[in-house]
Structure 1
């Protein structure tokens, strides 16, 4: 494995090579800020989330919760600040390996059935060890819907299918934007169980919420955003 000289920052496509005795945060942001049309949306922010930990991002409509997750995922460019993953700069390749993003839209192909959607996404992003799409559907309560087209699913079922895709992802860092939306109490408990299991395996999660739902029952830090602009 190629190693950078001590005075250089590792290239984006290098593998993480931290020794087992060093524990940098899985995700760290310093001075992170974003503006839209010269109006600040959030920042500057400094925060970190460790392996085995969740960061709960709270704030009302327009506080910048969705925008923050999109910046962390690399879908928007920050105006200022730095983002590190595992102690290294968060470039596109490192983000693609480390981050699984669950946004407001289900990110499904409407004319593929549930199982085909998961097979397609596993082909793009890889698959968690010892997990297969059929089992993931059962975990999220969609056993028996393998052959149902995504466009025929209800909003809650589409959210569950997106959760199955999330569960199959090998990425250690989950960015979850309002993951409880369109779910009943059973679905909310499902999300909490999934987050708990992911953290027990050494993963981490950032979870946005308006504060209407209880935080997952895991080790949690809090980041509160404020504002009255659309996120």
Structure 2
């Protein structure tokens, strides 16, 4: 088994009675990122959910720092920041309050990242800090969801279509954030249909592991 920081070996996942992919293996070390590519229906979201411990694969091993994530349980999930299709923000809370809540609930003592003010400024939402999230545009809501990455300060980022609803400038800004995360020794797994510029990211073609296709 690989001694990489994050290692996946022989992974297989199913949906209903259909095998989405099988025999999938990949590794990530500090400062590395992977762009998971492939058309709709291959199971990219299923893969990301398995890799961050939100669902169990049919076969295979996923290891973090040499240990199976199923054995680490909450110890592993505390090191993962997952941004899925849904933004997961509270509409009745302000932008700043959403980040404050995330920091209070999901941050371990001594592991806090940026303050909510710093994070909002970094994603271009400083002026919306005191605005209820339900009044934000779709692009602003997405940026608010992504700002949680900065307040949680977790080493592994798992991002499913993170650029949805973002304009060109915001795509470039988020790409820069991921690059800074890598430069600081972080890891990232990204699914995106949108083009983005991130030097050093590796392409990972999921179709190589798919036995059946639509």
TM-score (norm 2): 0.90
What's the offset of the Cα at 1:196? 0.8
Q: 1:107 aligns with which of 71, 85, 88?
A: 88
Matched, 1:89 2:68: yes
Structure 1 partner of 2:29: 50
Whether the aligned pair in 1 keeps the contact of 2:3 and 2:66 (CA below 8 Å) is: yes
1:65 aligns with 2:48: no
Structure 1 contact 85–94 (Cα < 8 Å) conserved: no
Q: What is the distance in 2 between the residues matched to 1:96 and 1:183?
A: 27
Unaligned runs of 5+ in 2: none
Corresponding position: 1:117 with 2:91: no
CA distance in 1, matches of 2:35, 2:60: 20
1:6 aligned partner: none
Matched, 1:168 2:151: yes
- Cα distance, 1:223 vs. partner? 1.3
SS at match of 2:14: strand
Counterpart of 2:173?
190
Higher helix fraction (1 or 2): 2
Equivalent pairs counted in the alignment come to 205
Q: Name the SS for the 1:144 alignment partner.
A: helix
Aligned match of 1:34:
13
CA offsets per residue over residues 42-83 of structure 1, 9 Å max, x none? 222010111101011001111111110111122211100000
Cα RMSD (Å) of the superposition?
Answer: 1.7
- Given that 1:26 and 1:173 are in contact with CA atoms closer than 8 Å, whether structure 2 keeps it comes out as no
Task: Give the alignment's TM-score, normalised by structure 1.
Answer: 0.84
Look up the match of 1:151.
Answer: 134
Q: Is the 8 A contact 2:113 2:153 kept in 1?
A: no
Query: Contact 1:56 / 1:215 at 8 angstroms: preserved in 2?
Result: no
What is the DSSP-based 3-state SS (H/G/I as helix, E as strand, rest coil) of the residue aligned with 2:51? helix
Cα gap change, 1:111 to 1:88, in 2 (>3 Å): same
C-alpha spacing 1:74/1:129, structure 2 compared with 1 (3 Å): closer
Gaps of 5+ in 1: 1-22
